[in-house]
Structure 1
Amino acid sequence: MRKRWLFLCMIILVGIGVLGYWKYQKTDKAVQADQDVFQSVEEAYDLIRKQSVHETSEKQLIEGAINGMAGSLKDPYSTYYTKEEAKLHREQLSDERVGIGAEITESQGRFIIISPMKDSPAEKAGLKSYDEIVQVDKERTDGKSLTELLALIRGKEGTVVKITVYRPSEERHVELNITRAAITQKSVSSKVLVSEGKNIGYISIAMFGEKTAEEWYKNTDELVKQNITALIIDVRSNPGGYLKSVAQIIGSLTKPKTTFAYMEDAVGNQEPLQLGKRDLAFEYDEQLQKLPTVLLQDEGSASASEVLSGALKELSRATIIGDKSFGKGTVQGTWPLSNGGELKLSTHKWLTPKREWIHGKGIKPTIEVEQDALYHINLPPITGNFKEGDFAESIQYVQQVLKAQGYSINRVDGYFDRTTAEAVKEYSKKHNLNNNKIMDEEFLFALRQEVVKYREKLENDLQLQMAISYLSHKISN
């Protein structure tokens, strides 16, 4: 047992990279100290396996040990992924994943379909908005997390997954056989906005994935062909991604060999990051590098998004409009482990071109613009049935949305009082809903969809409107 446990511990240490730093010759005293540590780990392992009333496996204990070591760093960005979680994490940054093509939300332990994607396997099989997933193949969804549910739904391309849903509109359960397919994920989208007779290019980057630079090139190339006179880059709610992708985007907007950031290692050595023409995967139009540019950011713009924002701001290449960014100034490396899992560790700090570390501080916009209340409120849930006298977080979301829309609401603490009931009744009457002072699922779904549609209207986006106004003024002078 001791040899096996010591061997497993050594694997864990190799995965973390600790052995890479042991470049000095250990003394006998140091070796003895290490053995004492491993002995206490072995003792704890044996006690848990033999004495605990809770059944555990060797796999659970090993993964718990790795989780504990990662957690001891007190770094939210250093984490351990199980084999299944590692696969999902890689898929998030991939341009393609195998699945059914549906937007799913978790609400109070229930998994609700927001909408199937157009022409997706889910749509073709008959999955509908508001369906509740209750079983995948032969496995119930009760007590599962959204991550666990997605792991059940995904699988090999061309295979069939049987999904059982409860359909409230028909008050019955429906079984659907859905053939999994490769679902292409686009991280970049664009369009032309017209202001005062001038074409302004708008390009949104949802994340920095494997093919984001390629998508950026295709979209900006098309925008330039449409004679745009200015450019808006939107990285709001972009959580980051691959540094290489954001580096190539910066390279398309700045001169070759421009230092766009610095990497600082654990001992303080700083390395300038530059991108030359030979490093770019594409030939960029020189016009793109001369266009007046605005970058939109908010508190959800993090990591690689902030590398882009910090570079364009400090190199005087773009005006930053919106809110202060999130403030993530570390870079992570990921190592595979022998059990199929992965360990992600913060290995470097990144600094702006002026060598500023923005961690915990964020990047301040050049022009600060706050959105109205409906842009900051969490979307209401779409499950539940609430009446006067109830208290719940879901009610609080509804109260916030109704108050932002101008309804008379005295409190937004989640307590369903008389004024909330009257506002619900007024909203229901206005939207031809059948409920009377009751927040049922029909009411919650209608309210959520209204908020989504509100946010999709360009005229309600105050930050975007400021960007358009700023650029219109700039190109007219």
Structure 2
Amino acid sequence: MDEQKNNPNEQDEQPKLDQHDAPAGKYIRLKPFVFIMLIFVLILSTTGITMFALTFGDEKVVDVGAPERREFQKLYQAYDELKAGYYADINQETLVNGAINGMIDSLGDPYSDYMNQEEAAQFHENISSSFQGIGAEIQERNGYISVVSPIKNSPAEKAGILTNDKIMAVDGESIQGMGASEAVLLIRGEKGTSVTLTIQRGELTEPMEITIVRDEIPIETVYADMLEEKVAHIQITSFSENTYDELLSAISEMEEAGMKALVLDVRQNPGGLLTSAIDISNLFIEDGMPLFQTKEKGKDADIYVATNGTKVKVPVSLLIDGGSASASEILAAAMSESAGIKLVGLNTFGKGTVQTANELTDGSNMKFTTAKWLTPEGNWIHEKGIAPDVKVEYPSYTQLPYLDASLQMKNGVLSDQVKSAEEMLTAIGIDPGKIDGLFDNQTETAVKQVQKEAKLEETGILTGETTYALMDRLRLKIEKEDPQLLKAKNLILEELAK
């Protein structure tokens, strides 16, 4: 609002009436100066009475400002007593942030979170072109930080982090009870630095430590390759700002290569931007058909429908698994219910809510759930997920725990890590002998074979580069012998053959 400027000559412009101009016995018009002084005296008198009433009288005599909200009286009392009586100095900002955090935590919603300025900056970075860290989507669930899914080709994926791994500690510091935003600040860091995560995989296994070297995590979200018989395989790893454009480019590339069918893949895709999910869903759904619904408290559902535009014309199937969450599930539900596209793989994660991030005046941010989202047919998949049309399990060896490359496993050692190594050796076709956790002569011979094929010194000791070579062999096998992808491909070929 512009300030009103006082005119220095304003008083001179007022009409004046001197005493000698006034008839006897008539009222006299006061000069402006005298009138202003009287008003000033009146204001001072009123202020004095008010101050007297506030100081010595009933405190209800004067009611100024907005009425106090009674629901906050206990909060104010707690704040004042802490400020006055706590034995050490208190940071006011920390206290206020803690109060807001407490309110949001009391909702019991793992998707609602308060972020201070630093955490809010990290949040905005998530949907930018890149960030530095380990590359894993996490969430707080039941007091623990759990991995939703590692980002494809990220340090987290290469180190063996899996969906549903619980992160118990970061660099030896327990993070139990932390929110996801707090945990992210500890896990992320500059490229080239390392972080050690203490991972709990399953309820019965012992926690293990995984050291990961942070890197630049590019938000490249679409990967395409052509399979046999001109069936394209396009994987979407997250729904970010540029994902739709990346997908259009990948589809064009595959069309130029002669694509006859498409297997779209959102396994291990934790979601992302709703707008991206809408744009991508629109590629596969006919104009006017529903994509999904949103339902806010006390309101009728809003139905989002497909619009005109670019459409994929070839037969499609969609790969899903337990790491497919949020926007991935919106896409899966739309493709299944509005286009009859077959879903292959495993049950999805089950996130059926929509969050809005509201920036506060100091740059901090409250991200909280504002609506449910429903499938085109009105189903709420929250904490249930979406079941595939064709269920295909992962091979058991894909769930093996990470091997700690800093350990030396050699003849005579008995441990769970040795047992996992024996299972890995078996999976890649090298016989380690009996799988019992005991590193014996046969295990040593198997390790020497790995070292020979990897052109490493044949010591028979599983450590360092040998451990990484073994895990790389297993990863290549998983990628090559992907039973879910093969099933999805065969379904498409059957459809083409009809």
TM-score (structure 2 length as normaliser):
0.65
| Mapped contact 1:187–1:212 kept (Cα < 8 A) | yes
Residue 361 of structure 1, CA deviation: 0.9
Deviates more, 1:336-345 or 1:307-316: 336-345
Q: Partner of 1:85 in structure 2?
A: 119
Aligned equivalent of 2:304, options 273, 279, 288: 273
Q: Partner of 1:430 in structure 2?
A: 449
The 5 A counterparts of 1:22-421 are 31-47=69-85, 50-51=86-87, 57-94=91-128, 96-97=129-130, 147-148=184-185, 152-153=189-190, 184-195=218-229, 199-267=230-298, 269-277=300-308, 283-284=309-310, 286=311, 288=312, 290-385=313-408, 397-398=420-421, 401-402=424-425, 404=427, 407-408=432-433, 410=435, 417-418=437-438, 420-421=439-440
Residue 347 of structure 1, CA deviation: 1.2
Counterpart Cα distance in 1 of 2:269 and 2:117 = 26
Counterpart Cα distance in 1 of 2:427 and 2:90 = 50
Counterpart Cα distance in 2 of 1:301 and 1:78 = 19
Q: Which amino acid aligns with 1:38?
A: Y
Change (3 A) 1:333 1:430: same
| Mapped contact 1:381–1:445 kept (Cα < 8 A) | no
Local SS of the residue matching 1:86: helix
Change (3 A) 1:57 1:380: farther
Q: Which amino acid aligns with 1:383?
A: S
Counterpart Cα distance in 2 of 1:332 and 1:446 = 42
Local SS of the residue matching 1:256: coil
- Residue 466 (structure 1) aligned with residue 497 (structure 2): no
Counterpart Cα distance in 1 of 2:265 and 2:123 = 24
Counterpart Cα distance in 2 of 1:41 and 1:391 = 52
May I ask how many residue pairs the two structures share in their alignment? Answer: 372
| Mapped contact 1:322–1:367 kept (Cα < 8 A) | yes
Counterpart Cα distance in 1 of 2:253 and 2:194 = 43
| Mapped contact 2:290–2:303 kept (Cα < 8 A) | yes
Q: Which amino acid aligns with 1:88?
A: Q
Q: Partner of 1:126 in structure 2?
A: none
Change (3 A) 1:409 1:261: farther
Residue 34 of structure 1, CA deviation: 2.5
CA offsets 1:206-239 (integer angstroms, 9 cap, x no match): 0000111111111112222333221110000000
- Residue 452 (structure 1) aligned with residue 488 (structure 2): no
| Mapped contact 1:301–1:326 kept (Cα < 8 A) | yes
Q: Which amino acid aligns with 2:87?
A: Q
Q: Which amino acid aligns with 1:236?
A: R
Local SS of the residue matching 2:228: strand
| Mapped contact 2:447–2:462 kept (Cα < 8 A) | no
| Mapped contact 2:448–2:460 kept (Cα < 8 A) | no
Change (3 A) 1:337 1:33: closer
Residue 395 of structure 1, CA deviation: 5.7
Counterpart Cα distance in 1 of 2:194 and 2:372 = 47
Gaps of 5+ in 1: 1-26, 105-116, 119-128, 131-140, 155-161, 166-180, 278-282, 412-416
Change (3 A) 1:143 1:255: same
| Mapped contact 1:299–1:323 kept (Cα < 8 A) | yes
Q: Which amino acid aligns with 1:82?
A: N
Counterpart Cα distance in 1 of 2:491 and 2:112 = 40
| Mapped contact 1:321–1:365 kept (Cα < 8 A) | yes
Change (3 A) 1:410 1:194: closer
| Mapped contact 1:373–1:404 kept (Cα < 8 A) | no
Change (3 A) 1:253 1:42: same
Structure with the greater alpha carbon radius of gyration: 2
Q: Which amino acid aligns with 1:97?
A: S
| Mapped contact 2:433–2:443 kept (Cα < 8 A) | no
Change (3 A) 1:436 1:268: farther
Counterpart Cα distance in 2 of 1:79 and 1:319 = 35
- Higher relative CO (Cα under 8 Å, sequence separation at least 6) belongs to 1
Gaps of 5+ in 2: 1-65, 137-152, 160-169, 176-182, 196-214
Residue 370 of structure 1, CA deviation: 1.1
Counterpart Cα distance in 1 of 2:265 and 2:368 = 28
Change (3 A) 1:236 1:183: closer
| Mapped contact 1:295–1:318 kept (Cα < 8 A) | yes
| Mapped contact 1:369–1:462 kept (Cα < 8 A) | yes
Counterpart Cα distance in 2 of 1:149 and 1:34 = 33
Counterpart Cα distance in 2 of 1:142 and 1:227 = 50
Deviates more, 1:207-216 or 1:312-321: 312-321
Change (3 A) 1:209 1:425: same
Same amino acid, percent of matched pairs: 28
- Residue 475 (structure 1) aligned with residue 496 (structure 2): yes
Q: Partner of 1:3 in structure 2?
A: none
Residue 383 of structure 1, CA deviation: 3.2
Change (3 A) 1:241 1:152: closer
Residue 67 of structure 1, CA deviation: 2.4
Residue 389 of structure 1, CA deviation: 6.1
TM-score (structure 1 length as normaliser):
0.68
